[in-house]
Structure formats: C-alpha cells, structure tokens
A and B are shown apart, each in its own frame.
Chain A
C-alpha cells in the first residue's frame, strides 16, 4: 500500500509574550517532533485532550501554516516547499472537514455554491450534475443546492461540509473534530457516512478527536498526543486493547465513563 501522507519530524513553536524585559519567554511547543504516515484508504486517528497539538498538526497538514522543523510530504511532495500555484493545484487532492458545522459554511452562500467552491478554485467547471450527485452521495437531496445553511440541522450541515470536501475526489480527508459538535445519534450517522465514502473512494482519512470512543470505531492506526509530544503510536486495536501509557489509559477510562453515561441517559 502506498504512503499517501508522510509527516516527518514536524515541530511547531509559537512565541509567547515576554513577561520580563530582559528575559525572552520560552516558546510554546505546540507540536514536538511528530512523525507519522497515512497509507491510501486507511484512517489515522489522532487523539489527545485540548491543547495537545492535534489541531495544529491538522493546520500544518492542510498547509494553513508551516512547521518550524520537519516536513509534510503528500504523495512524496513537500507541501510547504511548493509555490502558491503548485499548492493551489494540489489542494483538490486533500480536503478538510471542520468541527463547527455552523461556522464552516458561509451563511450568505447557497449550498450549491459552497459545495462547488473547490471546483471553481481549481479552475474546473462546476457541473450541476456532479454537485447533485455529490449531495446525494452524502445523503442529501439534489434539490438542496439552492437552499441556505440556516435551513439545515447540524448533522445535515456537516453532510454539506463533507460534500464540499469530497467534490474534487480527494485522496486525503482531514477531519478535525468533525463529529464533536453533533448529537450522539447524528454522530453515528456521520461516522458511517465517512466509512462508506472511504470504502467507495479509497480515501485516506486523518481523523482528529478528543474522544477515544469515536476513534475506536473508525480508525486503523492511532497516534496519542499530549502537550505536542507523541505518547503512543501504533495500530488502533492494539492501543485500545492494551494501552501502553498511563495517559492513554486515562483517556480510555474517560471515554468508557462517557459511554456508560450516554447509555444510562
């Protein structure tokens, strides 16, 4: 199986404001020397609590910001070394789903407009038949193109966001807490949708979550982050059955408690 995404020793530091005049504050290391790979058609889960560097990693994979050290290779190309034009040409290959389905769609734009955006940006024609087909693929109706985001529920909006992400037939999908803002029942539907799409399109998925229960149902491999440092890394089944680190264990216990709580409710 070919390697789709190769993250090599990536580090990202953020400068912190000075507290003293003559003493520089040590920078905040959001991501510290992380290396991981995603193969085509596989799902890598990245878990960790808030502030563990998950989203920073996602932002670097999406080339929204550049690492201070290390490189991110997409199909062997260092995406941070590309020119703006080259990066723009490559963008249809890797797309992203955001956490907040209310914030990731422009309230002033119709569903069809938003879903077609990646096609337009890539200079392709936004074929209405393709938009309609993509909407149906994510469980919406073709007639929804003319409606606006506020007319949809959270789960439906997330489906729209997914439609936008897959309309260019990407190879990699980055999902940053993509189901965290959704109800439990809707969450399962969206997770199923992602798995179906993966099977259909052979998508590689980078799935970021603080919730191990969600990750366990979806991921092949797992990376546990804490304060930007890799705590544990390996196959999802292996880690979930026998966590090798206390931190992972804590996360697992928390996830089980939450599951029980939801079961009781």
Chain B
C-alpha cells in the first residue's frame, strides 16, 4: 500500500474512531444490561418546564440528546459499569465526581466544552441502577436546573423515582412469590 495513503488512513481512523466510539461505549454496554431506556431530545425536554421559561428553552436547545438507561441486577452484581466508565476515561473524559463503597454510588464524567462536551454517568441507589449519556454542549451551570426539572417532571417520565417498587424492574429477573 502506498505509504502516504497508509498515513492518511491512520490519521483518519485515529480522528474519527473516538467520535464514533463515544456513545457506542455506553450503547454496547447497555445492550446486555438495560431494562428500560429513556431517550430525551430538546423537544421532549422542553416539556419538563411547564412555565416555558426562555432560559430553560435555550438550555435544552444545547442538548443534542439525553439517554437514560435503567440497568438490570447483573450490572449491580458485577459492577461492570466501571469498565465502561474506564473506556470513557480513555477517550478523554475527566472524572467530575464519584462516590463508591456501600450501596449508594455515583460516578460522573465529562469533557470540557472546547473538547466537544458530553457527560456520562452512573447512579446507583441500593439495588437500583441507572446510567446516562448526555450529548451536547451544556454549560455546567445549567446541569442543576436540568436535574431539578427532570425530578419535577417525574410524574411524566418517572426517571428519578428509584425507590418505586416497579422502577428498574427487569422482566428477566425472577419475580418474588
């Protein structure tokens, strides 16, 4: 093969592979571990603010997509989500905050806006576990408001009601008698 062409190919694969790989990592991981997926786009996220505030409207417009996966009991048991998060670290995501040990855990990773933004995280409360991927360039300062709106909009999408007996239920899990 022409040496020049080979170099071009190496550069191109090096440049584009990480971009493809970003959401694929969590997708591949959750293919075998998810029980439920919530996929929220700006149009659905806007519904979380019934007051129609222009600031919230602007904020959700910066979000390309927010995907929340409810994971099954195998993820809780084998902590395989840690490998998935390590994959994101290898792609240049920095740890923003983490809490582990005990039954409540959370991990939040993100990249600077100038590096493409995006956040990925895992939240675990007792035996319920969720992972999320947020693509888009959202300002840090807007994250608390987004979480608040997601919590307030719980009646509609019921994302954060982790203690609800039906939430995160895996149809493959054995039912209690």
To the question of whether A and B form a pair in one complex, the answer is no
The chain B residues found within 8 Å of chain A, CB to CB, are none
